[in-house]
């Protein structure tokens, strides 16, 4: 495990945030901003959120308190997201975002050593259905 991270930290919940209820107006506004098709922009009983709406959610804090200090004090940049969709988000839903540290790994490339931190958001609705799993990948430059 790089950076002397305690492996037990992986998968441990470090934040829980609850949002909602979701309104039809915000779903429609989001979809219109994307230029999404009418099935995401017409209010009515069949309205569901555009699939990418789930990435607008985040926890109250982005990193666990026990992330190695060498990373907490440094700049990182967004290295992409993996999104696995579940039940659609509908107007009236309450969405709970549970944050876990999913992975920390190193790699080397043309520009040197990099450290990747993957923070997972697991989104569920008020029925306990999984709405989405969002893996947020952050890249740090390695120690020089």
User: Which lies closer to another protein via its Cβ, residue 25 or residue 106?
Assistant: 106
User: Which lies closer to another protein via its Cβ, residue 96 or residue 133?
Assistant: 133
Stretch of 18-26, 68-76, 92-100, 101-109 contacting another protein, by CB under 8 A: 101-109
Whether the CB-CB separation of 79 and 103 falls below 8 Å is answered with: no
Stretch of 16-24, 58-66, 87-95, 103-111 contacting another protein, by CB under 8 A: 103-111
Choosing from 112, 126, 129, 130, the residue that interacts with another protein (CB under 8 A) is 112
Closest separation in Å from C-beta 53 to another protein: 22
**Residues with Cβ < 8 Å from 1, sequence gap 6 or more?**
7, 104
User: Which lies closer to another protein via its Cβ, residue 13 or residue 106?
Assistant: 106
Choosing from 106, 126, 130, 143, the residue that interacts with another protein (CB under 8 A) is 106
Note the helical H segments in the chain.
24-34, 69-72
> Total residues at the site for another protein (CB under 8 A)?
11
Partners of 132 in the beta sheet? Answer: 85, 123
- Count CB neighbours of 126 within 10 A: 13
> What is Dmax (Cα atoms) for the chain?
56
SS3 labels along 73-102: CCCCEEEEEEEEECCCCCCCCCEEEEEEEE
Choosing from 113, 120, 133, 141, the residue that interacts with another protein (CB under 8 A) is 113
Task: Please report whether residue 128 would count as binding another protein according to CB under 8 A.
Answer: no
Choosing from 13, 92, 105, 143, the residue that interacts with another protein (CB under 8 A) is 105
């Amino acid at each position: 495990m790089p950076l002397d991270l305690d492996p037990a930290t992986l998968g441990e919940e470090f934040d829980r945030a609850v949002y909602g209820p979701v309104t039809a107006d915000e779903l429609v506004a989001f979809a219109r901003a994307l230029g999404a098709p009418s099935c995401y922009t017409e209010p009515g009983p069949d309205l569901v959120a555009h699939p990418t709406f789930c990435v607008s959610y985040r926890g109250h804090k982005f990193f666990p308190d026990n992330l190695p200090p060498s990373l907490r004090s440094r700049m990182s940049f967004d290295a992409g997201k993996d999104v696995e969709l579940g039940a659609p988000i509908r107007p009236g839903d309450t969405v709970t975002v549970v944050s876990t540290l999913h992975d920390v790994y190193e790699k080397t490339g043309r520009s040197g050593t990099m450290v990747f931190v993957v923070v997972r958001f697991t989104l569920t609705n008020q029925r306990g259905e999984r709405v989405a799993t969002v893996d947020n990948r952050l890249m740090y430059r390695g120690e020089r």
